[in-house]
Amino acid sequence: MFKQRLISGIFLVIILALTLYLGGDITLIVIGGISLIGMYELFRVYQIEKCILGYISYLMAILYYAALSFDYLEGYLMMFCGLMMLLMAAYVFRYPKYQADQVVIAFFGVFYVAIMLSYVYRLRTLPIGGYLVVLIFLSSWGCDTLAYCTGMLIGKHKMSPLLSPKKTIEGAIGGLIGAMLLGWIYSILIVDHIHVEYPITTLFPLVCGGGAIVSMIGDLAASAIKRNHNMKDYGRLIPGHGGILDRFDSMIFTAPVIFYLLLFLTKGALLKSV
């Protein structure tokens, strides 16, 4: 099991690294595709993955990513209003086929998966986004890996025994410190390659620390949905890891937080640097 998980994890990292290196439409298409699969996995929990509610949400996610490619930010609210009205129309005209909670999940899925993950692409498109986007992975997957290792070695106090019995407070602290350390090491490695006014050796650890905290919340949030429906994994797409949501659950929270932390901590200056 560990060998399978390791091999598939390596392939996943290679694919994503190549995707982010190429940037542009490649990153947009891959992140958009990941979002659609994640939505499908979420909708399958509520049995709307292959019905009109699901199809409306898939279409809206595609339109959202198309709008991103043209930098049409003004149209977001209009799309969400349209999404809500279409979902409610399907609910009304097919009544009583669907339940109200299924309509809510169809709307929620677009925001929770597609929009939150789109911040990976949004950060990558910035002038030095090729460097900044790495922080998302350091604070999500880095935190997850180091939290697991710390918990295995010295973990004693359960962090959330009902929701995730294997996670410990010691592991969470180890993941947080580890993510900040990774951010600091990364800043040392690239400090001579980017020219900005802010000291990235201080900024990056802080940003990774903030990202690590929310990454753990994102992980637990996805687990809570599974526990409510007595599920172990969202899918089997990634051998040893489960589905897309099982692997990207923490990143769903981390991506927008990293984006906005960089925006606010540098007052926008770092995001505009070249």
**For range 11-16, the mean pLDDT:** 83
More confidently predicted of 240 and 93? 93
pTM over 0.85: yes
State the pLDDT at residue 243.
Answer: 85
pLDDT range class, residue 155, cuts 50, 70, 90 = confident
What is the rounded distance in angstroms from the CA atom of residue 61 to the CA atom of residue 201?
Answer: 36
DSSP H or E run through 240: none
Q: Which residue has the tokens 């490649």?
A: 26
Question: Residue 38's closest CA among 134, 91, 112?
Answer: 112
DSSP H or E run through 164: strand 164-168
